[in-house]
Amino acid sequence: MTETSIIICGQAGQGIQTVGYVLAKAVLRSGYYIFAWQDFQSRIRGGESSFRLVISEKPISSLPEKYDILVSMDKSNTPLYTPLIKSSGIIIAENGSGENFIEVPFQKIAVDIGGNKIYSNASAVGAVSGILGLDFKKIENVLKEEFSKKSDEVADKNIKVAKYSYDETVKNNSKKFPPVKELKNPGRKILTGNESLALGAIAGGCRFMSAYPMTPSTGVITYLSETSQKTGILIEQAEDEIAAINMIIGASFAGVRSLTATSGGGFALMVEGLSLAAMTETPVVVVLGQRPGPATGLPTRTEQGELNFALNAAPGEFPRFIFAPSDAVSAFHLMIKAFEMSQKYRVPVIILTDQYLADSYWTVEDFNFENIKLNDYFSKPEDVAGEFKTYSITDTGISERLKPGESENLVIADSDEHDQYGHITENLTIRKMMVEKRWKKLCLMTDEMNVVVPDGFDKAEIVLVSWGSNGGIVSEVAGILSKKGTKTESINYTEILPLKIPKEFFDKKRKFKIIVVENNFTGQFAGLLEKEGVKIDGKINKYNGLPFTAEEITGEIKKKYDKN
Amino acid sequence: MTETSIIICGQAGQGIQTVGYVLAKAVLRSGYYIFAWQDFQSRIRGGESSFRLVISEKPISSLPEKYDILVSMDKSNTPLYTPLIKSSGIIIAENGSGENFIEVPFQKIAVDIGGNKIYSNASAVGAVSGILGLDFKKIENVLKEEFSKKSDEVADKNIKVAKYSYDETVKNNSKKFPPVKELKNPGRKILTGNESLALGAIAGGCRFMSAYPMTPSTGVITYLSETSQKTGILIEQAEDEIAAINMIIGASFAGVRSLTATSGGGFALMVEGLSLAAMTETPVVVVLGQRPGPATGLPTRTEQGELNFALNAAPGEFPRFIFAPSDAVSAFHLMIKAFEMSQKYRVPVIILTDQYLADSYWTVEDFNFENIKLNDYFSKPEDVAGEFKTYSITDTGISERLKPGESENLVIADSDEHDQYGHITENLTIRKMMVEKRWKKLCLMTDEMNVVVPDGFDKAEIVLVSWGSNGGIVSEVAGILSKKGTKTESINYTEILPLKIPKEFFDKKRKFKIIVVENNFTGQFAGLLEKEGVKIDGKINKYNGLPFTAEEITGEIKKKYDKN
Amino acid sequence: MTKIDDYKNNSISAWCPGCSNFGILNAVKNAFVKLDKLPQEIVIVSGIGQAPKLPHYLKCNVFNGLHGRALPVATGIKAVNPELTVLTVCGDGDFYGEGGNHLLHTFRRNPDITSIVHNNQVYALTKGQASPTTELGVKTKLQFDGVREEPLNPLALAIIMNCSFVARGFAGDLEFLSEIIVAGIQHKGFAMIDIIQPCVTFGVHQSPWYKDKIYRLGNDHNPNDKEAALKKATATGDKIATGIFYINNKPIFPEKEINLTENFGTDKKVLTELEKSFC
Amino acid sequence: MTKIDDYKNNSISAWCPGCSNFGILNAVKNAFVKLDKLPQEIVIVSGIGQAPKLPHYLKCNVFNGLHGRALPVATGIKAVNPELTVLTVCGDGDFYGEGGNHLLHTFRRNPDITSIVHNNQVYALTKGQASPTTELGVKTKLQFDGVREEPLNPLALAIIMNCSFVARGFAGDLEFLSEIIVAGIQHKGFAMIDIIQPCVTFGVHQSPWYKDKIYRLGNDHNPNDKEAALKKATATGDKIATGIFYINNKPIFPEKEINLTENFGTDKKVLTELEKSFC
Ligand SMILES: Cc1ncc(C[n+]2csc(CCOP(=O)(O)OP(=O)(O)O)c2C)c(N)n1
Ligand SMILES: Cc1ncc(C[n+]2csc(CCOP(=O)(O)OP(=O)(O)O)c2C)c(N)n1
Ligand code: SF4
Ligand code: SF4
Ligand SMILES: [Mg+2]
Ligand SMILES: [Mg+2]
């Protein structure tokens, strides 16, 4: 098997996520790469939802247009997802008919073998792994790990049901798929974007998180809460998002690295706090998980509609960092970088994610923990000469920082315009100085930014530009187009503000076309480049709440540029 | 007298505003133009503050670098403002010395004649009007109007004190200024930007306003409250800005034109509500009075730092109008236009003002009430065919609108993505349609925008571009530079979004330089033009909290372009 | 007379099968029938959460707004059109959490609206975090070590804030609940009805658990007696009172009930008069 | 022992001459002396308004934040560094108006901080609009027809919300006020001290008016008696009680008092352990 794609569909509350996750883990341990996206509705039970799992021998981070296998846990869902299955594909469900149909009585097996229909999921897991030719031992182990948290009996029953279903499926069906082989397993991991951000926060020295639940970002605080006994990170659910950001500003002022996470509506409520962080030069890291807006919009879907908002949110003018991770590894490392940068420059950092990044399972080769190095950006009280100035004017705009209470030095911060000591002032000469001080940081901040650009990309015909979670998809598109004869390169921005632009983009005689691919209506990243003087040759936008597929983008480009 | 400029300085709470206002009104009635700016601190009593009054035979809307007369009500303020007085100028105060000094014992006169030192202000008014050669009858009338609200006795005493002081000053001082003449008084008015906005709201059919006090916008709701018995407008102070915007959204949904006003910090809290208005297509008008930020910043000073914020505020993507009045007339008419446009297109309208516009007194020739025509954008229930659709898909993106309760038609609005009826949906085809519906309005919205461009401006050497309250100043600069031999034109944007740009700006071979003048650090309006592909040749920015003076800008241009 | 079916719409509910929200939906419809309110006379404003989806399953005017912000929207509607019957439908997170400040000041403002709070003691739509009314010690995915914050007592809070009408209902007692809702709507002023709404998915306690404990306040309770109301609201022990706890008649906002929606444009005479003061 | 002068800084006050805020400033300094707190041990978090300028006139650590948001900032500070003595200083608009939701939930959260509220019954810094505690009927520029909304009773609200420490002070009774502040700071848990603070510029009542009416709660008042506390807090009539109304010892947030500011970086062993679960 080189690549197999599976949809597991069913109602909310049926546990399709468990089915998908158990399969994914088992396959991962056979040495494959995994990518899985979750498509669900804003409800708790019923309706339509799916877990889309792609298994591949190569790294993967995008979804196909059509899938190989549909596993349906719910009759009413089957017809909805059937159109997404290849004509060569198969459908596994309780009942149905047709050549490509494999009937597995999930519920009956669950009751017969496990004594309860709640084991239907295990039955589905068994059936699919049978079809995939997975080594059952792998499934058994994962089931044991997942369910022995509840009880050994539950774990056992899950295993029994899965095994039965596995055996039956193997027995009754001539395999239609090249089986999952046993490849080398170098200890890869799968985790969601949110889990990865949370892990990055732990690695980045986070000590306090406060947030108010909001899809698709809730997973960050949930993971940090679940692991808080091990990490010692203090977690507090706030009464609202305004409290959340103000609490972390307090904690950060006191001296610890602090985090919050939300979505667009909650971020809107944090905007005044963001400007407080900026004015008081208190570092904060804010995760803004985008979903389709305006207002409540589509809570469980994906979009990249809040770049401009993140860039310009908050009263008054101040510099900030904006990062937009492309996948789990990038989420992990950018979270660490976010903490480092916010501490070093005492500015707010916004991490833009979206439902596609946050809820998807990504394969990670290695986080390379050993390479993580955190710097302590606090000064030593004994090194401070004279009366301490929270906002001392320096060449770089960065002032010394101390923790209140640590020494005789008093730390004074103010949301009003202030003098170097932090006291309120209406002296307009100081005002001017302070505006310039805050902006002086921009120069060094810009030096910190990395934009990864393929060697000789300017020799391409088309350069696809994307940002954030579209990185994997767009790089795949570049590969497809190049293979078809149109030399295409892709550049994905994960470090967005301060913006760095490859000089080749400005070349008046450049041969390559710049096409910007974004999950929004107005082309926000394209606009950002345009503002800096880059001519954009084409924009590809999607705004129905779903992520792009490579096929879709390839199709658009073909349409627009009549490329093969 | 062609032009005289006066600073009245003193502590907060001393009533220098009254002194200035009484003088301004009396001079106005002699047929002069008035412009006055108030410079004060964020406190209630004490400190430093000034009322800057310019009296001219020609329309005026900017401040000079140096003034003719300083009236000091407070000893400690005198040295602070003396440097702003011309060498030929005079200083009127209780005591001091020097050739240009006129000693008037304000307080002694107040006590001797009025029996209380609270009449010191009247004494100052009398002295200045004596110096200016004003007809005392004019002063008497204004004092009577202002103070008979309190009591006839208070009015009388004020008049007596002023008269005494007037006579003494006339007697003791050979006039140093060409006297105020009796010009034709065509019934001009003076009022602040805030009052003008409020008057515009009344004229624009506003029926409900809710706001939370915040400098510099509080004056809008205050004026509407004071006049509410006459206008029937319902006024409610909200518990916070979130409540304010949500209340007006409710009122607007019910069918009345509704308004709120705030400053940057409060606007930040309204941002989620703004996106609710957009998503539910409920018209709202929001006044955002800018002051220097970030965060609390300088509450009583001026800045234009929130253009980008206003442009991009709120989660999700949607079209909006942004207007930025240049003066009182413009504030009045744009407020009416704001109501009309928000009703017609069912989109939020933001009116950007700043402390300079909001608190200054501007002379208005005529509001031309007779030309105001409001349109009722509601449909008649009897014209609605079939089940009513709050969000019917149309060619223009604009749907029919009804008031709930008015007929059997039910009006349904939703902050979630919704179908045409207004019910929540997760249908992603509908989602796409609705995004497009909302954006379809942009086309007609753009047609509504006016940018006033001087004939043949592209023949100039320099085109100064500004926005909002800088209009008057920049046009004055253009006049000065042209007179000195550098043909200069000015274009002031008051209708900002959707942005319209004169085609000459894009001309690759244009001869004129574009210089953008803004009260902010980063050049936000310049950035907006750049995004659309306009090359900006120069930026002039000020960000210490004070407004520009024409001299200052002229100086900058001279420095930069070595133009005399 | 209106009938239950007049309020029926054909939307498919996104609530879990068996959820007690359905009981509340029925009680609301019953109340409308009892009051003979036409759908067009009613506006329901809701927030965001599972409960606030309710108006989508009804026929009436609807404004489904933001999480936490139903009250000010409802206040704005009622302020300009007093002829409408305005209700809010919110979750406990919505109403007592995100929207707490509006609640606090709506008690003071006293608009003539009726607020129905589905108190399931959980943030259901976001999958089960603690709400302001979750009991101490309850473990959730986010409150991994158990809830540390004292639950808020909505009734006691409302009474001490002199809320005009304070009641508690039980989603499992449709008849009494719809009576309470009728009384709340009839009451002139802000009526807050907290409803015990067991959540079959995330709930700690289910309907049968409550059924034993719940009783209806009888005639011996005088809702005009603030002290008695407070005592009932803060009572501990095994029994849970439902019914009207407190009634406090006081001026509403706005005092003058004028339908401003009929009032278009502005009299130029007024403008001209105002203008004069600037000359 | 510290001295008053240890807390003195040379800033020039922006308060009106004769304002009762000066009395509170002195009471705060006195309290610090009595407690022998070093300036470096103290953090004052304030909001925006006239009152919240107070920490600029003192020597200690200061975080002067946003209007209405002092409580969450203070909570964050204290949560990660329990060794600091954390106070908030706010105006009544700040604390009960814009910041109302934080107050409501801080009662529940119970961080070990002390909140001083300068209750002058007005939005002073914005020039005299009604605050949540302004009396009915008072006319202001904005409340042109007089205040229509019932004033909020902060003490009753705090008590019903089981606030850990509830007191009222009077800016004109420096000695008692500083005693109350000392007790509030010493109390483990959230201590709310509402202070009657006559405003010489906008105030309806001035100090002499209050002096006649104010009395100190004596030993006959048991602050552990909630009912009695509530009675005192809701008492009407001519007398105004000051002192400690209510004390309710309960777990604080966070329960474990760990100074997280000393805790830099992350143990890679923990990371590696967590990572395993993803393999
Ligand atoms: C400003 C904002 N913050 C957070 C959310 C996410 N959110 C949606 S519903 C909800 C909580 C729902 O709980 P509750 O109000 O009790 O309603 P229930 O689902 O339990 O009926 C939250 C936190 C949001 N939509 N908006
Ligand atoms: C978000 C926000 N809204 C409004 C304001 C404007 N504002 C500043 S101080 C203040 C009220 C002050 O009243 P109070 O808190 O009672 O303090 P006081 O001045 O009376 O001491 C207001 C409304 C602000 N700074 N921020
Ligand atoms: S989650 Fe709970 S409250 Fe929400 S619909 Fe399901 S059972 Fe009802
Ligand atoms: S306005 Fe009132 S409260 Fe504020 S400083 Fe002046 S007297 Fe004190
Ligand atoms: Mg709930
Ligand atoms: Mg106050």
- With cut-offs at 50, 70 and 90, classify the pLDDT of residue B175: low
DSSP designation for B148: T
ipTM over 0.90: yes
With CA atoms as reference, report the closest residue to A158 among A121, A129, A128.
A121
Contact residues on chain B for A414, CB-CB shorter than 8 A: 296
Contact check, Cβ <8 Å, C143/A225: yes
**What tokens does B373 get?**
């025509």
With CA atoms as reference, report the closest residue to A80 among A33, A10, A139.
A10
pLDDT value at residue C267: 87
Chains interfacing with B (3 or more CB pairs < 8 Å): A, C, D
Q: Are strands B33-39 and B361-364 parallel, antiparallel or unpaired?
A: antiparallel
Q: Give the nearest ligand 3 atom to C15 CA.
A: 5
Using CA atoms, how far apart are residues D175 and A256, in angstroms rounded to an integer? Answer: 37
Q: Are strands A495-497 and D165-170 parallel, antiparallel or unpaired?
A: unpaired
pLDDT value at residue C264: 83
DSSP string, A331-350: HHHHHHHHHHHHHHHT-EEE
Q: Are C141 and A226 in contact (CB under 8 A)?
A: yes
Contact residues on chain D for C234, CB-CB shorter than 8 A: 160
Contact check, Cβ <8 Å, D67/B228: no
pLDDT value at residue A1: 65
Contact check, Cβ <8 Å, A251/D77: yes
Check pLDDT > 90 for residue C153: yes
Three-state SS string over D91-145 comes to EHHHHHHHCHHHHHHHHHHCECCEEEEEECCCECCCCCECCCCCCCCCCCCCCCC
pLDDT value at residue D18: 96
Using CA atoms, how far apart are residues A172 and A191, in angstroms rounded to an integer? Answer: 34
Contact residues on chain B for D14, CB-CB shorter than 8 A: 41-43, 46-47
Check pLDDT > 80 for residue D266: no
Contact check, Cβ <8 Å, A202/D266: yes
Contact residues on chain D for C163, CB-CB shorter than 8 A: none
Contact check, Cβ <8 Å, D160/C157: yes
State the average pLDDT for chain B. Answer: 96
Contact check, Cβ <8 Å, B205/C274: no
pLDDT (tens digit, 9 = 90+) per residue, A528-540?
999 999 999 999 9
CA distances from A173 to A72, A212, D229 (A): 17, 49, 77
Collapsing DSSP to helix, strand or coil, A80 comes out as helix
Q: Within 6 Å (CB) of ligand 4, which residues are found?
A: B 44-45; D 15-16, 19, 21, 50, 120, 124, 199-202
Contact check, Cβ <8 Å, C101/D105: no
Check pLDDT > 60 for residue B563: no
D249 near C CB under 8 A: no
Quick one: A141 exposed, middle or buried, by C-beta within 10 A (0-12, 13-18, 19+)?
Answer: middle
Q: Which residue in B203, B254, B273 is closest to C261 by CB distance?
A: B254
Q: Give the nearest ligand 1 atom to C97 CA.
A: 15
Task: Give strand ranges (E) for chain C.
Answer: 42-46, 61-64, 85-91, 114-119, 165-170, 191-196, 214-216, 240-247
In chain C, whose CA is at the least distance from the CA of B226? C274
CA distance C139 to chain B (A): 30
CA distances from B455 to B491, B495, D251 (A): 11, 19, 74
Contact check, Cβ <8 Å, C157/D157: yes
Contact residues on chain B for D127, CB-CB shorter than 8 A: 44, 213, 218
D249 near A CB under 8 A: no
Lowest mean pLDDT among B327-331, B418-422, D215-219, D262-266: D262-266
pLDDT value at residue A98: 82
C8 near B CB under 8 A: no
Check pLDDT > 80 for residue D124: yes
pLDDT (tens digit, 9 = 90+) per residue, C55-86?
999 999 999 999 999 999 999 999 999 999 99
Quick one: A353 exposed, middle or buried, by C-beta within 10 A (0-12, 13-18, 19+)?
Answer: buried
With CA atoms as reference, report the closest residue to A321 among A211, A196, A449.
A449
Q: Within 6 Å (CB) of ligand 3, which residues are found?
A: A 44-45; C 15-16, 19, 21, 50, 120, 124, 199-202
Q: Which residue in D148, D153, D161 is closest to C253 by CB distance?
A: D148
Q: Which residue in A295, A426, A531 is closest to B415 by CB distance?
A: A295
Contact check, Cβ <8 Å, D268/A230: no
**What tokens does B154 get?**
């208070």
Quick check: bond before D254 cis, omega within 30?
yes
Contact check, Cβ <8 Å, D105/C108: no
- With cut-offs at 50, 70 and 90, classify the pLDDT of residue D42: very high
D152 near B CB under 8 A: no
Q: Are B278 and B321 in contact (CB under 8 A)?
A: no
D199 near A CB under 8 A: no
In chain B, whose CA is at the least distance from the CA of A442? B522
Quick check: bond before B213 cis, omega within 30?
no
What's the count of helices (H) and strands (E) in chain B, helices before strands?
18, 20
The ligand minimizing its distance to the Cα of A44 is 3
With CA atoms as reference, report the closest residue to B198 among D144, C36, C52.
D144
Q: Within 6 Å (CB) of ligand 1, which residues are found?
A: A 212-214, 241, 265-266, 269, 296; C 48-51, 67, 91-94, 118, 120, 122-126, 131
pLDDT (tens digit, 9 = 90+) per residue, B196-238?
999 999 999 999 999 999 999 999 999 999 999 999 999 999 9
Q: What residues are neighbours of ligand 5 (ion), with CB under 5 Å?
A: C 91-93, 120
Q: Are strands B85-93 and B33-39 parallel, antiparallel or unpaired?
A: unpaired
Check pLDDT > 70 for residue B4: yes
Regions of chain A short of the pLDDT cut 70: 1, 175, 562-564
D2 near A CB under 8 A: no
Sorted by sequence, the CB contacts under 8 Å of residue C255 that are 6+ apart come out as: D148
CA of D57 to the centre of ligand 4 (A): 15
CA distance A32 to chain C (A): 30
Collapsing DSSP to helix, strand or coil, B152 comes out as helix
Chains interfacing with C (3 or more CB pairs < 8 Å): A, B, D
- With cut-offs at 50, 70 and 90, classify the pLDDT of residue B1: low
Q: How large is the average pLDDT for residues B339-355?
A: 98
pLDDT value at residue A175: 66
The ligand minimizing its distance to the Cα of A416 is 2
Contact residues on chain A for D46, CB-CB shorter than 8 A: none
Using CA atoms, how far apart are residues D94 and D197, in angstroms rounded to an integer? Answer: 14
Q: Are strands A33-39 and A361-364 parallel, antiparallel or unpaired?
A: antiparallel
Chains interfacing with A (3 or more CB pairs < 8 Å): B, C, D
In the sheet that holds D214-216, the strands lie side by side as A412-414, D61-64, D42-46, D85-91, D114-119, D191-196, D165-170, D240-247, D214-216
Contact residues on chain A for C16, CB-CB shorter than 8 A: 13, 44-46
Length of chain A as a residue count:
564
Contact check, Cβ <8 Å, D124/B295: no
DSSP designation for B490: E
Lowest mean pLDDT among A193-197, B102-106, D264-268: D264-268
**What tokens does B396 get?**
């223009």
The ligand minimizing its distance to the Cα of C142 is 1
**pTM exceeds cut of 0.95:** yes
Contact residues on chain C for A268, CB-CB shorter than 8 A: none
